[in-house]
Amino acid sequence: MPDALRLTGYGPSVYTWVVRLALAELGADYTYVEVDPFAEDGRAELPPLHPFGRVPVLAHGDFTIWETAAILDYIDAEIAGGRMTPVAPQARARMRQVIGIVDAYGYWPMVRQVFANRVFRELDGAPVDEAEIAAGMERAAPVLTALEAIAAEGLVLDAVRVTLADCHLVPMLTYFAKAPEGALALKRCPALGTWLAAMHARPTISNTMPDLGAEMTGET
């Protein structure tokens, strides 16, 4: 690859972690630039890179791309010739489905409602909104049911061949499970729980896991 990769992100961001995890799984060399979307400098620095002022953003030479799923597609194709994308149509479709489920239905209740309130707010000394946690758990229930069925099916999420779906889902469920309510809900999902435990045995997870001592928003 003639041009260097440059990832702009925010350390605690779950979506920044998704990209860093994929890059680690691919063994990619890249430059990481930390930008705080909530600091004055960050708010000024991001709009030229991302029209909505969010992270992560990937630059490869003079090509810049944002939106996490698109970034993952690009680096997998560019770095590894699609190694993390299944060839079989059914497995490839399931991979895309997992990513779609996570983005459309999983991120908000699991991360923003449950994790951010139960874990992040407590770390920050802020009041916890129990009603918001309860609402998040209710919304997360059908997401877990859908993901459990996919993990049990075995086309993807088998912790043997890591796909883009694994990279997209591990950070979400890891943050969710840091809340006691999330951990308990995952215990009722044996296939998903087995997959997550196996993924956590991979050094790429511990090597890229964020420091949670900072704010958790401003993501895409």
pLDDT tens digits, one per residue of 74-125: 999 999 999 999 999 999 999 999 999 999 999 999 999 999 999 988 777 7
Greatest Cα pair distance, the chain, in angstroms, is 51
Domain-embedded: residue 14 = yes
* Domain count along the chain: 2
- Does 67 score more than 90 pLDDT? yes
pLDDT, residue 43, reads 67
d(CA 173, CA 193): 10
Given 57, 80, 103, the domain boundary residue is 80
pTM of the predicted structure, to 2 decimals: 0.92
pLDDT, residue 217, reads 43
Domain-embedded: residue 98 = yes
Residue 31 falls in which region: left (phi positive, over 0), alpha (psi -120 to 50) or beta: beta
Domain-embedded: residue 215 = no
CA distances from 126 to 107, 118, 121, 178, 215 (A): 21, 10, 5, 17, 12
Q: Do residue 75 and residue 131 come from a single domain?
A: no
Written as six digits, the tokens of 131 are 């009603």
Q: Do residue 142 and residue 182 come from a single domain?
A: yes
pLDDT, residue 177, reads 97
- Does 54 score more than 70 pLDDT? yes
pLDDT, residue 25, reads 97
Domain-embedded: residue 219 = no
To the nearest whole number, what is the mean pLDDT of the chain? 92
